[in-house]
Homo-oligomer: A and B are copies of this chain.
């Protein structure tokens, strides 16, 4: 489960911009992305959510929708045709690029497990707040499914936790419990579950206190090289995904994994 929050002011596509926070208050535009929907509902990236507000106009925790994400939707990668896989993967790239390069401040309030696709979107935010629940693991666990994280997942991982930690965690498909995620720098704060949203909002306020133009240029300076690497190899990355996911062995691995998930639920 996760939600990213953004101040709508300055939103380049901001025809649906939310209310500007009053001086001293917290931002109220919400961004909820359910990365399990397929093909990815990109438009939701710019759909503000109108939360309930307390007397100060700030959204209250209980209004936060609990959008569960177990990462990318594996059913989109299983038993379909190559054209479907290509379209799906292009949408995943698009979601990530828009999030990673967004001029908005994005704070991930992570109140649930955050594997694979959920993690990569959290990594694209400016800041990550994780609920202190031992069940809420976060990381890129692709290898355990018999698949490999694409190079731009890896790039985002390396940018966040460094080369050595990425090398180990990616190969092991390791999911970090909250305390370890904090220590390795995968998240910025770990707080009690009922303080995730309020902490995320405080964090958001800190970032919004910086002159917007200077912050945006600086963000772009830090992220452009990584985004450009994906943009340069976008088609090859799609082809790579399609040919990999179409393999009999991979399809079998995914089917076994999905069957396990179904049995666990049933």
Contact = CB atoms under 8 A, between A and B. Distances in A.
Interface of A: 126-127, 142-149, 151, 154, 158-168, 170-173, 185, 188, 206-207, 210-211, 213-215, 217-219, 221-223, 249, 253
Nearest to A162: B162
Nearest to A224: B151
Contacts of A207: 171-172
A210 B171 CA distance: 8
B210 A188 contact: no
27 contacts: A126-B167, A142-B214, A142-B218, A143-B210, A143-B211, A143-B215, A143-B218, A144-B210, A145-B214, A149-B218, A151-B221, A154-B221, A158-B163, A159-B164, A162-B163, A162-B164, A164-B185, A165-B185, A166-B222, A167-B219, A171-B219, A171-B222, A172-B207, A172-B210, A173-B210, A173-B214, A213-B249
Given A143-B214, A160-B164, A162-B164, 7 more contacts: A127-B168, A142-B214, A142-B218, A149-B218, A163-B222, A166-B222, A171-B210
Contacts of A172: 206-207, 210
Contacts of A214: 142-148, 173
A170 B222 contact: yes
A214 B221 CA distance: 33
A185 B143 CA distance: 23
Closest 6 CB pairs of A and B: A143-B214, A146-B211, A167-B222, A159-B163, A148-B217, A160-B164
